[in-house]
Chains A and B, each alone.
Chain A
Amino acid sequence: MSPLLRTLMKKEMMELFYSTRGLLFFLLISVVLSAFSLMLVTNTELSLLDNAQALYMMSGIVLVLTMLIAAVYGSDAIAGERERRTLSVLLVTPLDLQSIVRAKLCFVLLLYVAIYLVGLPYFIAVGSSGQNLFEGLIYLFFLGVMLSLIFSAVGIYVSLSATSYKAAQTIMLVVVLFSASPLLLSASLRQSTLGRVADYINPFADAVNTLDAVIIDSEPFSQQLVRLGILAAITLLAVILPLYRAKKELS
């Protein structure tokens, strides 16, 4: 990693820990996971779930939070810096816009690792006596990496083009809602051809379905290749988008 990227990432990390926004992210994650864990014990219906199902549900929650945080952070990345009038000063230095985008993407990855580590004790507590805990944790890690990259990269792309931070954030919230929409569809609708296609091209649905297949159905890696391949392709495309846009960008 170049010293410039390292310096910029260090700044992002310090900013996160000094700001209430960053601390709120982590507080939100631990509150949500604690509440869900408590419900698993106290709620009659949830307490009937086996450990694998509980682990799957908790992984889904972490992926939703990851998607949300990556989208919010991504939409702030450039539009926020521009609005706070800190971007022009950065661009006078040897940094170019593409380096800033790279640093922001790397930082989102670090952020996801932190989220994953916060969630780890909860996963172990919930799924330790069930099946596929280890596989589930490995898959969750890599799926989270891909989702955080996709949603932050799309957020940064929107942020590069948006007229304001608010506009970028609104667009990204719609993208997140749209991505999470399969959760709201009925099972029969999801089984239709349209539903299946939508499931395949929706990265969030791909991630959740992969977790379902691995944790609950104990499917082997070979059966996940199509979904993982699509997810990897979307990740690559999503990351290239803002990098390309940043290279072209001049007001």
Chain B
Amino acid sequence: MDAITIDALQKSYGNQPLFDALDMRIEAGEIYGLLGPNGAGKSTLMGIILGLNSFQGGSVRLFGLEVGEAKKTLSQKINALPEFFSLYGWMNALEYLRFFAELYARNPEHSALEKLLDDVGLDRRDRRPVGTYSQGMQKRLGLARALINDPELLILDEPTNGLDPKGRREIHDLLIELNRRRHTTILLSTHILDDVQRLCSRVGILHQGRLRYEDDLNRTVPFSRYRFELADPTIDPLKCNSAHLRFVRKTGRWIECDIENAAPYKAIEEMHSNGIRFNQAVALSGSLEHLYFTYTKEAAS
């Protein structure tokens, strides 16, 4: 079943068309990465899906229900984290979550709210007003709020923007866990290509009112490029080649390899079994970037 079905969507601002017969389908249970340059209409599209923005033609359905006609039912199934949002600065984190839980007619146990704070990496004992939180902490609390109704569809606009690398990793893990355990469908809009590569099963590139490219991420970007610092620089780099890994080049202690996205851990295991040890690995993820520029440039020209 499709979580999101968009058919021939048309939206314009005055005489300026934004979407021209946009079609899009997101299956239930998948993590979909929506890419596109600034002004491509990603946030507007998310607003339309959430029923916050109007549109002139076409249809938008969530779980088979028309957006705008089943607001009450759908709002219990979906939730979102907008790119820009504010918290009620005078509340503490638990009060904030309880307020939203009550809006969803839920009365969660105190411990359930504390667990939610743990999940997003916030201190459950912190009773400071959330107005004093850093940007990263506010983002985490926003995400906890977006999970308050156990949504079947989660719409995230730049969810890791403003987070430190550790915070990003934690949010990645949380979203992957959510998707695996509860089969939560996630629509993710971001400019951070690494987020898409780590999280998404499918990717779409939105540009000039249309979906210019859409495919499974493993087909789109079968390999990701990594750079490894070898523990023993004298080792023959061709020994790296295996079923899931291709050697590209060697520069001093560093080698660059393409690792199959479908089996990154197997590739690492194969390196180990071929006697290759490394001190550190750096993801370069150039392939998706190349694809992104190709489709946004082609469309522009």
A residues near B, CB below 8 A?
3-4, 7-8, 11, 14-15, 18-19, 84-86, 88-96, 250-251
With both beta carbons as reference points, the residue of chain A lying nearest to B100 in the complex is identified as A93
B 265-298 to A, binary, CB cutoff 8 A, 1 in contact else 0: 0000000000000000000000000000000000
With A86-B85, A88-B85 in contact, do A251 and B103 touch (Cβ < 8 Å)?
no
Q: Which residues of A contact B71 (CB under 8 A)?
A: 94, 96
Q: Which of B38-58 contact A (CB under 8 A)?
A: 47, 50-54
**Which of A7, A14, A85 is B103 in contact with, Cβ under 8 Å?**
A7
Q: Cβ of A15: which chain B residues have Cβ within 8 Å of it?
A: 88, 90
Contact partner, B86, options A14, A85, A95, A250, Cβ 8 Å? A85
With both beta carbons as reference points, the residue of chain B lying nearest to A86 in the complex is identified as: B86
| Cα–Cα, bound, A169→B200 (Å) | 45
Q: How far is the CB of A250 from chain B (nearest CB, A)?
A: 4
Known: A91-B52, A93-B103, A94-B104. A251 touches B75 (CB 8 A): no
Contact with A along B47-89 (1 / 0, CB 8 A): 1001111100000000000000001100110111010111110
- With beta carbons under 8 angstroms apart, the residue of A18, A250, A251 that contacts B90 is A18
Q: Are B85 and A85 in contact, with the CB atoms below 8 A?
A: yes
Contacts of B54 in A (CB 8 A): 250-251
- The answer to whether A14 and B90 touch across the interface, beta carbons within 8 angstroms, is yes
The chain B residue sitting closest to A95, CB to CB, is B103
Contact bitstring B97-113, A, C-beta under 8 A = 1, else 0: 00110111100000000
Contact of B82 among A19, A88, A94, A250 (CB under 8 A): A88
**Does A251 lie within 8 Å of B47, measured CB to CB?**
yes
Output the nearest chain A residue to B103 by Cβ-Cβ distance: A93
For B105, the chain A residues whose CB sits under 8 A away are: 3-4, 94
Is the pair B53, A251 in contact by a Cβ cutoff of 8 Å? yes
Contact B104 A84 (CB under 8 A): no
Interface size range on B against A: 20 to 34
Residues in B lying within 8 Å of A, measured CB to CB: 47, 50-54, 71-72, 75-76, 78-80, 82, 84-88, 90-91, 99-100, 102-105, 142, 145
Q: Which one of A8, A84, A89 lies within 8 Å of B145 (CB-CB)?
A: A89
New A-B pairs, 17, CB < 8 Å, besides A88-B82, A93-B100: A3-B105, A7-B102, A11-B88, A15-B88, A15-B90, A84-B86, A86-B85, A86-B87, A88-B47, A88-B85, A92-B52, A94-B71, A94-B72, A94-B75, A94-B76, A94-B103, A250-B52
Q: How far is the CA of A223 from the CA of B49 in the complex (A)?
A: 56
Closest 10 CB pairs of A and B: A250-B54, A18-B90, A93-B103, A7-B102, A85-B86, A94-B75, A92-B80, A85-B85, A84-B86, A89-B85
A7–B101 alpha-carbon span in the complex (Å):
10
Q: Give the chain B neighbours of A14 by CB distance below 8 A.
A: 90-91
Residue in chain B with minimal CB distance to A81:
B86
A223, chain B: closest CB distance, angstroms:
47
Find out whether the CB atom of A92 lies under 8 angstroms from the CB atom of B47.
Answer: no
Note all chain A residues with C-beta closer than 8 A to B80. Answer: 92
Expressed in whole angstroms, the Cα–Cα distance for A95 and B103 within the complex equals: 7
Task: Report chain B residues within 8 Å CB of A85.
Answer: 82, 84-86
Q: How far is the CB of A88 from chain B (nearest CB, A)?
A: 5
State how many angstroms separate the Cβ of B281 from the closest Cβ of chain A.
Answer: 38
CB-CB nearest in chain A for B80? A92
Q: Roughly how many angstroms separate A250 CA and B11 CA in the complex, as a whole number?
A: 13
CB distance from A104 to the nearest CB of B (A): 15
Instruction: Provide the residues of chain B in CB contact with A86, threshold 8 Å.
Output: 85-88
Query: Which residues of the partner chain B approach A92 to less than 8 Å between Cβ atoms?
Result: 50, 52, 75, 78-80
Question: Given the complex of chains A and B, what is the CA–CA distance between A244 and B72 in angstroms?
Answer: 19
Inter-chain CA distance A92–B151, complex, in Å, is 12
A80 to chain B, nearest CB (A): 11
20 contacts between A and B (CB under 8 A): A3-B102, A11-B99, A14-B90, A14-B91, A85-B85, A86-B85, A86-B86, A86-B88, A88-B85, A89-B145, A90-B103, A92-B50, A92-B80, A93-B100, A94-B76, A95-B103, A250-B52, A251-B47, A251-B52, A251-B53
B148 (CB) vs chain A CBs: closest residue: A93
